[in-house]
């Protein structure tokens, strides 16, 4: 299989770890405050592999070769996409055995009632990339909505909307099925962004509130044969491909 290089420049890594702006990261490097695998690095273009190399700033580890975990979870409805809930409600963490929970968190969020594909990891670097607003990976949703949207309502969704001052970019929208007797329709909606409650707000805005919502894919990843509440580890090649989608 083709080996994919996921290395990044040291100053970019420090900046994306939330440690400093790119310019102050360069200053830190120039001042000899940054070590890679124990060695001080003062060279600007130095590339590192965030999954393998140990980076320290002022002796404090920023990343390490600790085992990273990557899971593709089929989130069922009724679970919060959070690590801990102050009210003790079920969270996606409850779907993992205690030995896997340490350091794990969901990448992005799905609403309490939304089902579907959610990545869980302990890799902050990848999570940072995947949730970056410039990371315009397609997310595909299947939405069961009340009523049957007309052509012009579907066009409105496709063209993008401004709701309460928030802009929703154009989306790919397909009518998958329409039940005349039930007065419900199934839509496929592909979004390149991930604003809070986006699908629900868009559908409500054209008069067709969502009854049921499921995320079926994220970029090249799909739920495959997973059942609600189950998960699988991502393959190394899949993690590499996700890193390759990172914005420059
Ligand atoms: N859009 C929504 O409305 N809810 C989700 O959970 C995800 C996308």
CATH at residue 14: 3.10.290.10
Measure the CA–CA gap between 106 and 5, rounded to whole angstroms: 25
CA-to-CA dists, residue 144 to 34, 197, 206, angstroms: 52, 15, 14
Residue 1 within any structural domain of the chain: no
Local structure of 239: helix, strand or coil? helix
pLDDT tens for 173-187 read: 999 999 999 999 999
Comparing 200 with 12, the larger pLDDT belongs to 200
User: Which CATH number goes with the domain that contains 155?
Assistant: 3.30.70.1560
Residue 182 within any structural domain of the chain: yes
Residues 18 and 31 in one domain: yes
Q: Beta strands 210-218 and 115-121: pairing type? A: parallel
Residues 144 and 212 in one domain: yes
Any catalytic annotation for residue 111?
Answer: yes
Residues 204 and 187 in one domain: yes
Among 17, 34, 61, which residue terminates a domain?
A: 61
Q: Given pLDDT bands bounded at 50, 70 and 90, which one contains residue 1?
A: very low
Residues 45 and 116 in one domain: no
75: nearest Cα among 122, 111, 129 = 111
Q: Of the listed 49, 111, 113, 240, which one is catalytic?
A: 111
Sign of the alpha-carbon dihedral angle for 79, 85, 89, 95 = positive
CA-to-CA dists, residue 74 to 66, 71, 229, angstroms: 25, 10, 5
Cβ(111) to ligand 1 under 6 A? yes
- The token pair at 213 is 């919502």
Residues 21 and 130 in one domain: no
Comparing 123 with 172, the larger pLDDT belongs to 172
Sequence-distant (6+) residues with CB within 8 A of 78 are 90, 112, 113
Name the domain count of the chain: 3
Backbone angles phi, psi at 205, to 5 degrees: -60, -30
Provide the angle, in degrees to the nearest 10, between the axes of the packed helices 198-205 and 151-159.
140
**Mean predicted confidence (pLDDT) in 119-127:** 89
- The token pair at 242 is 């996700």
> Is-contact 168 161, C-beta < 8 A?
yes
Q: Given pLDDT bands bounded at 50, 70 and 90, which one contains residue 130?
A: confident
Residues 107 and 12 in one domain: no
Report pLDDT for 52. 75
Residues 169 and 188 in one domain: yes
Cβ(163) to ligand 1 under 6 A? no
pTM for the structure as a whole: 0.76
Cβ(199) to ligand 1 under 6 A? yes
pLDDT tens for 8-61 read: 888 888 887 666 678 888 999 999 999 988 889 998 888 988 777 888 888 777
Measure the CA–CA gap between 87 and 5, rounded to whole angstroms: 43
Q: Given pLDDT bands bounded at 50, 70 and 90, which one contains residue 2?
A: very low
Residues 44 and 163 in one domain: no
Measure the CA–CA gap between 215 and 118, rounded to whole angstroms: 8
Residue 2 within any structural domain of the chain: no
122: nearest Cα among 56, 68, 176 = 68
Measure the CA–CA gap between 21 and 12, rounded to whole angstroms: 9
> Is-contact 134 247, C-beta < 8 A?
yes
- Tell whether the model's pLDDT for residue 3 goes beyond 60: no
Report pLDDT for 177. 98
- What DSSP assignment string belongs to 12-41? HHHHHTTSS-HHHHHHHHHTT-EEETTEE-
- The token pair at 245 is 């989608």
Percent of the chain with pLDDT over 90: 64
Lowest mean pLDDT: which of 1-10, 21-30, 239-248?
A: 1-10
Atom of ligand 1 nearest to the CA of 113: 6
Lowest mean pLDDT: which of 43-52, 61-70, 186-195, 205-214?
A: 61-70
- Tell whether the model's pLDDT for residue 168 goes beyond 90: yes
Atom of ligand 1 nearest to the CA of 141: 8
- The token pair at 215 is 């995320």
Residue located nearest, by CA, to atom 2 of ligand 1? 197
Q: Which domain holds residue 30?
A: 8-61
């Amino acid at each position: 299989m083709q080996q994919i290089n996921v290395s990044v420049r040291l100053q970019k890594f420090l900046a994306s770890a939330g440690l400093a702006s790119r310019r102050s990261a360069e200053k830190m490097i120039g001042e000899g405050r940054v070590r890679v695998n124990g060695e001080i690095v003062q060279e600007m273009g130095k590339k590192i592999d965030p999954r393998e190399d140990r980076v320290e700033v002022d002796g404090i580890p920023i990343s390490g070769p600790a085992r990273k975990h990557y899971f593709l979870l089929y989130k069922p409805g009724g679970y919060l996409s959070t690590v801990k809930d102050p009210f003790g409600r079920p969270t996606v963490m409850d779907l993992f055995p205690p030995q896997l929970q340490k350091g794990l968190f969901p990448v992005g969020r799905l609403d309490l009632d939304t089902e579907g594909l959610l990545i869980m990891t302990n890799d902050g670097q990848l999570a940072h990339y995947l949730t970056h607003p410039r990371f315009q990976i397609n997310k595909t949703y299947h939405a069961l909505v009340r009523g049957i949207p007309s052509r012009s309502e579907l066009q409105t969704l496709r063209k993008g909307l401004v709701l309460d001052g928030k802009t929703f970019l154009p989306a790919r929208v397909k009518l998958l099925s329409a039940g005349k007797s039930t007065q419900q329709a199934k839509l496929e909606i592909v979004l390149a962004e991930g604003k809070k409650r986006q699908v629900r707000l868009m559908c409500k805005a054209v008069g067709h509130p969502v009854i049921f919502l499921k995320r079926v894919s994220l970029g090249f990843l799909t739920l495959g044969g997973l059942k609600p509440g189950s998960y699988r580890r991502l393959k190394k090649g899949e993690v590499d491909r996700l890193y390759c989608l990172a914005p420059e």
